[in-house]
Structure 1
Amino acid sequence: MRPRALVRSIVDASELGEDGVLALISDVLTSAPTTIVGPGDDCAVLEVTGPVVATTDVLVEGEHFVQDWSSPYDIGERAAAQNLADVAAMGAHPSALVVGMALPGHAAGEWVRECARGLADRARAIGAGIEGGDLTRSRGGIVISVTALGDLRGRTPVLRSGARVGDAIVIAGTLGMSRTGFELYDAGRMTPTGLAEEATSEKPVRELAEACAAVFRAPNPPLHTAIGAAARLHAMMDVSDGLARDCQRIARASGVSMCLDSTLLAPDCQRVAPLDELCRSTAWSRVLRGGEDHAFVATCAPDAIPTGFRIIGSVESASGIDVSVDSQPLTGPLGWESLA
């Protein structure tokens, strides 16, 4: 006879109902120490020490995740990570996530529980909690909406508009790995058990492919690095839509030109280049235009590079060219366009 919890977890959400689903996931959702009133009331009540930052991201099945590629735990981690990265990019400490889910009636209770566990584990790792949310029915696929809140703790937020002429452009985290993982899945080369046997027999290439696939499924941005460096940074963003596209956003917000150096980006290209034959784009394209590693691109004084960041270019006076590489303007799409 199955334990009661397991029996409940394999029942569809429509059979469990909203109260049943909430009961199923309640033990994996933990509140942060700064929470005064957590899940269960009409609103959460949080204790903060200063201004609060807020951000929201929506993940749609088939657009942002595919269940054949990612486990529900991965999807939960991914949903948390991209919101936590937005908070960290402002220099704030994540304090709470509020999660809404739209579920088709056939969604298994076990799926919802594992997704919630991924969300909660990733939030807990940075000191945040899951403080409430909403459940509703979807007539299509699964939709997950996450709102993240962060406490600046008396600091000034780090904005896109703060880049200064003469700054160094710096990066913390990986580039191109998530896009590489996506292209491997999209081409059918990655399977639930790893890289397809016929793709290659070389162990280092297989290990690299699996590392890139893991970053795509559940990115792990260096949140502590970004938060710890915030006081020394003039502008910052997390790279969600591609390095070139997000540098363009900083350039336009700050009224400057962002000049990238291909030599300084060469290590990123060399990291993913062994998989070029298995991908549809070049390593350079994946590094420059691929997003969702959620690395942090920032600008700072060239003699004050924070620990964990490295230089990849420089900020110059506005020239009518937002982003260039080796003084040559970039042409074509610069990265992901969500409504294209």
Structure 2
Amino acid sequence: MPQDTLASLTTLRLGGPAGTVLNISDPADWQDTVRAIGTQEHGPVILGHGSNAIGADAGHPGAVLVMNTRGIAVKTLDDMTVAVTVQAGHPLADLVQWAADGRLAGIECLAGIPGTVGATPVQNAGAYGQQIADTLDSVTVWDWDMGRPRTFPAPACRLRYRSSRFKEAPGRWTILTITLRLTRSQAAPISYRPLAKELDVPVGARPSVQEVTEAVLANRRRRGLLLDPDGPDARQAGSVFLNPLVTAAQAARWSAEACPVHRDSDGELRASAGWLLELVGCRPGEAIADGVRCSEHRTLSVVAYGEATAVGFGQALTDLAARVRTTTGITLQPEPVRVGQWAVETVRY
């Protein structure tokens, strides 16, 4: 097998050689995959589409498992509700469109988010006032410590703003399938004002699922939030910082300066990371470091180009966060995860 690289498996296209790349397309092959990995010195790296990952320049000497399993199974629960079990490697965009075509509500606002279904519980993926926690019923995982599959009901996944038990313990579990509860109904009430404006409806309205899906895609396209693999901003991992937690005093201070502040799904105050980056001088298209710049559309998406390195990209994020912290006292946390073998002395988030 020719040697692959982490760069070839991630949207940032950064990262060195991978020891062995195993593409998992058939769920029935999972046990064979586990046996093939055996007792390797280095644990496996698990990737879907690699749209939220920074691959290490040194690569990864062990196995890299690429989840390409696909499939949707539907079970009717009652006249209004269905349980939808989806393979981890299924593209999220395809699942959202499938639900819209079937007039199944619950995930319509996730249209246009790149990546696979299996990644959504890890980050509690969300947008436009909706998140996967709203409809998640259960997750089936492979427990590497116990050497067997396990099923977690949604409460046991500890989903919160862009986090979960799976993110807390990277490498412990590999998600194999997720099950959602979707409803045969209009879309969920629109809570996000920009989306209501896009739809030309009041906040709280319930358009059709298809209308909301199309509006979300249109809004994302206009804001440069759809990942175009052939465009000038192709080498990116979406938003590079989480909206940061702020104290009540910080919220009052920066709201007075027009910084958007909101309460997240956990009830905690968060400020706009994009606004804070603009405050310290970042602008769309602006160079940040060698081989690193803001996207042409927004400061919160940072793009790699030319001879960029993973260390250089990570250091650029660290430097941006330091600028914000020095100016405002607010701490930004990077969103992309680092995968592969990173030297201890390299970039620290």
TM-score by length of 1: 0.28
Greater RCO (CA < 8 Å, at least 6 residues apart)? 1
